[in-house]
């Protein structure tokens, strides 16, 4: 009991944990990478039906969205069996790149089957992007700081991705098509893939 009390007394305060985290390249690489990816992911998904409706029609667009959602569940369940044994940063980077590839296909290949398959590929990593930040924090940081760090990442992500749909819509209106905003999302995904692999010393 005395040891537990002493450990609790030595634990840094929430303010100290946040201050240290915001100067730690390991934490910043996680928070920035997932903020960029979720900005792109949410912005893309919100506008996906409007885009697919023009390219493959409403009926097939509905199928593509349903498959994307189903694959998000499949991906999350599949990852849950193996994620503890994987390099979680590398798994995150590969997930980001897979979404970028899917987006590139969606923009450039106007074929029903290709569009639906690309939506499935994109969806496979959607659910995992919510849980991976917490898993990385759990593995790399002091367990006593877990709650504070996950809350901080969540706050950063939510503030960031809230602007995704609006920015994608604005770029669509300015450019007259979804090509520019979707290519922008690809760029963010690839920047995030490089960022998540940066751990510093």
Q: Is residue 77 part of a domain?
A: yes
Q: Which of left, alpha, beta for 200 (phi over 0: left; psi -120 to 50: alpha)?
A: left
Q: What is each CA distance from 188 to 17, 20, 91, 103, in whole angstroms?
A: 28, 26, 17, 12
CATH number for the domain harbouring residue 53 = 1.20.1250.20
Nearest to 92 by CA among 139, 143, 126: 126
Helix (H, G, I), strand (E, B) or coil at 78: helix
Residue 7: which pLDDT band, with cuts at 50, 70 and 90?
A: very low
Write phi, then psi, for 129 (nearest 5 degrees): -70, -15
Report how many helices (DSSP H) and strands (DSSP E) the chain contains, helices first. 10, 0
**201, part of any domain:** no
The pLDDT score that the predictor gives to residue 130 is 85
Q: Is residue 100 part of a domain?
A: yes
Question: pTM for this structure?
Answer: 0.88
Mean pLDDT for 94-101 is 96
pLDDT given for residue 5 in this prediction: 47
State residue 69's pLDDT score: 92
**Residue 27: which domain range?**
2-196
Closest CA to 52 of 41, 62, 37, 43: 62
Which of 121 and 85 is assigned the larger pLDDT? Answer: 121
Task: Give how many domains the chain has, as a whole number.
Answer: 1
Residue 113: inside a domain, yes or no?
Answer: yes
84-123: string of b/e by CB count within 10 Å (b at 16+)? eeeebbebbbebbbbbbebbebbbeeeeeeebbbbbbbbb
Residue 173 inside a domain? The answer is: yes
Report residue 6's pLDDT band, with 50, 70 and 90 as the boundaries: very low
Q: Region 30-43: what's the mean pLDDT?
A: 95
Asked whether residue 73 is assigned to any structural domain, the reply reads yes
């Amino acid at each position: 009991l005395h040891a537990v009390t002493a450990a609790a007394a030595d634990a840094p305060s929430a303010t100290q944990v946040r201050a240290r985290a915001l100067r730690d390249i390991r934490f910043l690489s996680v928070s920035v990478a997932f903020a960029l990816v979720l900005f792109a992911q949410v912005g893309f998904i919100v506008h996906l039906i409007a885009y697919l409706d023009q390219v493959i029609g409403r009926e097939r667009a509905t199928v593509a969205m349903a498959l994307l959602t189903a694959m998000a569940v499949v991906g999350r369940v599949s990852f849950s069996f193996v994620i503890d044994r994987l390099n979680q940063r590398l798994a995150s980077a590969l997930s980001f790149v897979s979404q970028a590839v899917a987006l590139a296909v969606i923009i450039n290949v106007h074929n029903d089957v290709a569009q639906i398959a690309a939506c499935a590929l994109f969806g496979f990593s959607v659910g995992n992007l919510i849980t991976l930040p917490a898993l990385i924090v759990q593995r790399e940081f002091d367990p006593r700081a877990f709650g504070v760090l996950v809350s901080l990442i969540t706050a950063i992500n939510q503030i960031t991705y809230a602007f995704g749909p609006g920015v994608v819509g604005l770029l669509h209106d300015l450019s007259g098509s979804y090509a520019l905003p979707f290519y922008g999302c690809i760029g963010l995904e690839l920047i995030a893939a490089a960022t998540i692999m940066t751990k510093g010393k």
